[in-house]
A and B are shown apart, each in its own frame.
Chain A
Amino acid sequence: MSAERESGTIGVLGGSGTVGRVAVNRLAEAGTGSLRVGARDVERARAAVREAGVAASRARVLGVDLRDPAQLAAFCSGCSVVVNCAGPSYQVLDTVARAALAAGADYVDAAGDTVAMRALSAEAPTELETRSAVFSAGLMPGLSGLLPRLLAEDGPLERLDTYVGGAAAIGPLSAVDALLTRGPGFGTALAAWRGGAVVPNALSPLRSVALPGFRGRVHAWPFLSAEAEELAATLGVDELRNYTVYVSERIPEALAGAWARDDVPIEEHVPSVVAAADADVAVGGPWYTLLFHARPRDRDRSGPTRLILRTPDSYALSGVVAALAARSLVEGGVPPGTHAAADVLDPRRTLDDLVADALVDEVDLG
């Protein structure tokens, strides 16, 4: 343990990105130790730190390419927590986590699905006996697996519906992640969770529906993600329906078009996904909603059965969540081992923090 680790340095890798710069800002505002910000482009990182309103003295900027093991190790060395906001997640997988653990740090990943967690668990580093790695500390995955738990606090649920989506720009990096999040390990389109098992083709897309908390008419695509499946099993619900919501059919069409052409390298499909998202945003600006709706097993029970959270920027809000996960680690609130953020963050406290955050327009729990 170095002296720096004790004083609690938090390293944010990818801190100049859309997600990362918000994580940097929130960590600085919370005063959780000193910061180290890493990215390949140092100038851009400095500018991002400035724009995030963080004094240069509080945040050291380091040039680092995560594909270079030596640079990565140097970045992690001396950190008590490494927060990874660099991607693409499917390429990063457990690379940064291993480096962080090796350096004796805890780890937070703003992305990273089950696939990344499995990669890390496959040959689990011994440090996991004392240190923690928290994945999926973003909005989805992340809040989408955490917040619905609030609806089950007053009694078991017969059914849980989750709807997450809206209009958000997708950067080229996240577009690659979006294109790759399909297939085993990620989830099953059109499937639902029923009676303890995944039922394929149980649901059909809801076209042009009005949903509380969402603007106008939207399209909801059933996709039983790995996270939703976990959630269903954890809560013991009889049925879970998970929908990804889009304002138009542009993004689903772009993704479907890309998946139909798997003879072409995935990168070539990125522009069409990015353009589809931009076109969605052009219609009415960026907005994003999380809606969770529970049908309690006891029809007459009291306690909340619906939660709506609205934000103008889903990426930025992922940065907020990553920062909250880091804070929890610093506070010692997370047991050692590999976890999904949804399993280790406190849903009630997280919601309170979100209500107070400027990036949250509305929270309605009732």
Chain B
Amino acid sequence: MNSPVTPTSQSGSAEESSDPEAVDRLLARIWAELLGLDPGDITPDSSFLRLGGDSVLAVRMAALVRTRVSVVLELSDVTVDVTFAELSEVVRRRSAEGADAGRASEVPIEVEPRADRTAPFPLMPLQQGYFVGQQGGWELSYDSAHFYGDVGLTGVDGEEAVDALTDAVERLAEHQPTLRARVDPEGRQYVLPPEAPGAVPEVRVYDLRDSPENEVTDTLTRTRSEMSTTGPDPVRGPGVDVRITLLPGDRARLHTAMSLLVFDGWSATVLNRELLTLSADWNAVLPPLEIDFGDYVAALERLPSTEAWTADRDWWWSRLDTLPDPPALPLRTDPKDIQPTLMATRERHLSPERWAALRDACARHDVTPSAAMLAAFAVVLGRWAGHRSLLLNSLQLNRLPLHPDIHRVVGAFASTMLVPVELPTRATFATIAAETQRVFGEHATHNLVSGVEVSRELARRRGTTRPVGPVVFQSTLGMDAAIGETQPSSAGPLGEVSFGDFYHQLRTPQVAIEARVYELAGGMAVVFSYVEELFAPEHVDAAFADMFGLVESLADGTGWDTPVELPDEVAAPRDGLRIGQLDAERATADTGPLRDGLERDLAEIWEELLDTPILDRGTDFFHVGGDSLLVVRVLSRLAQRTGLTVGVRDFLDAPTVAGLAAAARNGVSR
């Protein structure tokens, strides 16, 4: 089977992406162009890797497929070792899914290096959420939104390790400007020049090489607790905190905490790899990056003026009023009454063999592993919440493929996407997974408008300041392949990395429970992160057991074809304390003319920030274009001009001029 995929190397341009042969011709031309080949050299079983492709080119390829064939590929579709026949098959499948979903919109913008790399730039929507969360703005928020992890190292060169790590962090901060990123109190971000004092994160060292066992345990416990509860805050210093504990027996632990305000999960993976690569070799040079995160944000700022963006927005807006409620999981405490400090986790791993089996089973059923895991989580939630129509939130780590370097740049690219799931009764899991994949794909083709913006509008329409999507799914299955180069396990003076010996903690605001699936040491990890105060422990136990059991049955093939048991109810039950209950009707606003000097000052501040007249004391901030970031700005200006301080949550409780004035006068602040 080595005949070329294209009979003639040059064909007409009037190709239809619905015609399979035309699609193959387009794909062959893309490969030929990227790999410097003649399209005639490409055979169905030639793999991208063998023809000279690498991960950089693979992402570029996905970008070209998106613009020229109008098909959006998923992360896991774009592996470097994909063969031409496999890619052609995937493109056909995605294009068939996209046919119901509407074509992927072409993104008519490009990322270019900005003239001034130190100029401040706005926060992306999800960053805004984290930023406001850090000010205690949301129910379920923390002083810092961050990820913490520590991993075991063996065969460490105790004399060299610290220098190697310190030097690696310095070089990394040179290579990835986002390590030097800061956020100002009004919610704008900027990058410090490398020579600015404090720009480069400092490595902290705990030398316990000669310490007794109990001191080692104590220090580890203390460090973990401290780094889990007090994350790095880019408003005050670097957004990353790197520490190393040197242990007896040439062992060590590498601790990293990263602020979600500046790094997403993808970036964490990239940073860890680059840190190890640089630590391993004093002379290692990372391929230079043409663009940085600020360039990407600057490019994205042009999106709303494009037709493609407007079309996506209209698509979402037209669906908002019919979206279901989030899973009505029974609660033991009202989220507004708690101040959690940590999220609890449940975690189990699928061995590399079973993970391979799961991938095969998914392929046989024509679904991606991510779609299957999302469907499994939805089934578990449906049983737990007692209804079948659910609004889930998903964390999206993929970046818009606007530049070939984009996947190697670190930053807070992540976004969310709302996914409504309607679980049918008496259907097999295979059917549910296929439908979930279709729905997910349909929504993902409209991803120019971020889920954070969609959620904000949904909250506005539902008249609530509570999170509208507090139940989250996140899959990074396929991300490793998309990033390319596998994790180096050997890091020179830092020794060998034991991925099996990995401890981690995540705190994300506005999340009640989040399911995460990712690849780890060749296998797959299934994790629930949740706010412990909210749920009865036996409920979480049961749900997690249900989830993992379902995953195992999918891996061994038995879970696909029997009808899935689900409750009869479609809509969320209303009894008792549950997720998704909206705030009690806001006290009918105190309307009327602005009453006094304070209300007039407030109205003026609102006008400055919202660019719309504020003519009534009952005006709701969120009905006149306000968002959470602007709340922070209003409060900061209020404090500047009047010396009065109000907490974000107090503002959200009564977001009118009259309400804010009352809060300011009472001097309430949490």
Contact = CB atoms under 8 A, between A and B. Distances in A.
Contacts of A161: 613, 615
Contacts of A296: 600
Interface in A318-366: 366
Interface in A51-105: none
Interface string B564-601: 00000000000000000000000000011110110011
Nearest to A207: B612
Interface in A111-125: none
Interface residues of A, number: 17
Given A293-B613, A293-B615, A295-B604, A210 B597 contact: no
B608 to A, nearest CB: 13
Contacts of B363: none
A241 B591 CA distance: 23
Which residue, B591, B592, B601, B613, has most C-beta atoms of chain A within 10 A?
A: B613
Contacts of A295: 600, 604
Interface in A280-312: 291, 293, 295-296, 299-300, 304-306
A210 B623 CA distance: 9
A209 B597 contact: no
Contact of A306 (B596, B601, B615): B615
A211 B601 contact: no
Which residue, B591, B615, B616, B624, has most C-beta atoms of chain A within 10 A?
A: B615
A366 B593 contact: yes
Contacts of B616: 212
A305 B597 contact: no
Given A295-B604, A366-B592, A211 B597 contact: no
Nearest to B594: A305
Contacts of B592: 366
A359 to B, nearest CB: 24
A211 B613 contact: yes
A315 to B, nearest CB: 26
Contacts of A212: 591, 615-616
Contacts of A256: none
Given A206-B613, A209-B613, A210-B624, A306 B604 contact: no
A296 B594 CA distance: 11
Interface string B597-638: 100110010000000110110010001100000000000000
A350 to B, nearest CB: 20
A210 to B, nearest CB: 7
Interface string B493-514: 0000000000000000000000
A299 B601 CA distance: 8
Given A209-B613, A295-B600, A305 B623 contact: no
A161 B615 CA distance: 9
B597 A300 contact: yes
Do most interface residues of chain A lie in helix, strand or loop, or is the interface mixed? strand
A291 B624 CA distance: 18
Contacts of A300: 596-597
Nearest to B593: A306
Q: How large is the interface on B (under 10, 10 to 19, 20 to 34, 35 or more residues)?
A: 10 to 19
Which residue, A212, A291, A295, A305, has most C-beta atoms of chain B within 10 A?
A: A212
Contact of B597 (A206, A241, A299, A304): A299
B588 to A, nearest CB: 15
B612 A206 contact: yes
Contacts of A210: 619, 623-624
Given A210-B623, A212-B591, A305-B593, A299 B613 contact: no
A271 B490 CA distance: 81
Interface string B157-189: 000000000000000000000000000000000
Contacts of A241: 613
B589 to A, nearest CB: 11
A306 B617 CA distance: 11
Nearest to B591: A212
Given A210-B624, A295-B600, A299-B600, A304 B613 contact: no
Nearest to A365: B593
Contacts of B601: 299
Contacts of B604: 295
Nearest to A220: B613
A210 B622 CA distance: 12
A366 to B, nearest CB: 4
A304 B593 contact: yes
Which residue, B593, B604, B623, has most C-beta atoms of chain A within 10 A?
A: B593
A296 B623 CA distance: 25
A211 B604 CA distance: 16
Nearest to B603: A295
Interface in A187-236: 206, 209-212
A366 B617 CA distance: 12
Nearest to B599: A299
A216 to B, nearest CB: 12
B595 to A, nearest CB: 9
Interface string B442-473: 00000000000000000000000000000000
A291 B596 contact: no
A161 B616 CA distance: 13
A212 B592 CA distance: 8
A50 B624 CA distance: 49
A210 B619 CA distance: 9
A291 B613 CA distance: 12
Contacts of A306: 593-594, 615
Contacts of B597: 299-300
Interface of A: 161, 206, 209-212, 241, 291, 293, 295-296, 299-300, 304-306, 366
20 contacts: A161-B615, A206-B612, A206-B613, A209-B612, A209-B613, A210-B619, A210-B623, A210-B624, A211-B615, A212-B616, A291-B615, A293-B593, A293-B613, A295-B604, A299-B596, A299-B600, A299-B601, A300-B596, A305-B593, A306-B593
- 7 nearest CB pairs, A to B: A299-B597, A306-B593, A300-B597, A212-B616, A366-B593, A293-B615, A299-B600
Given A161-B613, A299-B596, A306-B615, 11 more contacts: A209-B612, A210-B619, A210-B624, A211-B615, A212-B591, A295-B600, A295-B604, A296-B600, A299-B600, A300-B596, A304-B593
